[in-house]
Amino acid sequence: MDETDKKILQQLQRNSKLTTKALAADLGLSATAVYERIRRLERNGMILGYVARIDPVKVHLDFRVFCQVKLSQHVQHQIRTFEKEVDQLKEVVSCYHLGGEYDYLLEICVRDMAAYREFMVSKLTLIPQIGSTHSAFVINTVKQTHELPL
């Protein structure tokens, strides 16, 4: 991972449709060199894959909620079960085990408040390991990026 690799990753995490030729011109290298570097970054597992970014507003999935969860008990199999359940809920776009008062922070993405209510009532709170929850609603998204600060 030298500076050239870093520049390639920076560009590709912004726009993966860049051609090797365009990247090569930008970096002052040949297309083959850039091609080989990208393949190596893929084989290394540095590049996990390529995905399309979809506008949440345009597809009416722009109601976002952060839900903190406290477990009722903290024995290992309870933790595992909870995590497995959460992983299967497609509305949960991320779930972190945190230090602090609450155990987990869940980021939830739904259509609107009615959908969130439905999600809570008929999905999340059905998980028996949950002790208590606290929901915080997103009023405005100031910044949101997948780009790592390389």
Partner DNA sequence: GCTGAAAACAAATTATG
Partner DNA sequence: CATAATTTGTTTTCAGC
**Binding site residues, its own copies, CB under 8 A:** 1, 9, 12-17, 44-56, 58-59, 61, 64, 66, 83, 86-87, 90-100, 104-105, 109-110, 136-150
**CA–CA distances in Å: residue 137 to residues 103, 114, 131, 142, 143:** 19, 13, 20, 14, 15
CA-nearest of 87, 126, 90, 123 to 109 is 90
Helix H or strand E encompassing 100: none
Considering only 10, 19, 72, 132, the residue that binds DNA (CB under 7 A) is: 19
Considering only 30, 72, 94, 132, the residue that binds DNA (CB under 7 A) is: 30
Cβ proximity to DNA: between 36 and 87 the closer is 36
At closest approach, how far in Å is the CB of 6 from its own copies?
Answer: 9
Binding track, positions 117-146, relative to DNA; x by CB under 7 A: ------------------------------
Cβ(20)–Cβ(38) under 8 Å?
yes
Residue 107 to residue 124: CA distance in whole angstroms: 12
Helix H or strand E encompassing 10: helix 3-12
Q: Which of residues 45-104 bind DNA (CB under 7 A)?
A: none
Cβ proximity to DNA: between 23 and 95 the closer is 23
Cβ(33)–Cβ(24) under 8 Å?
yes
Q: Is 6 in the site for DNA (CB under 7 A)?
A: no
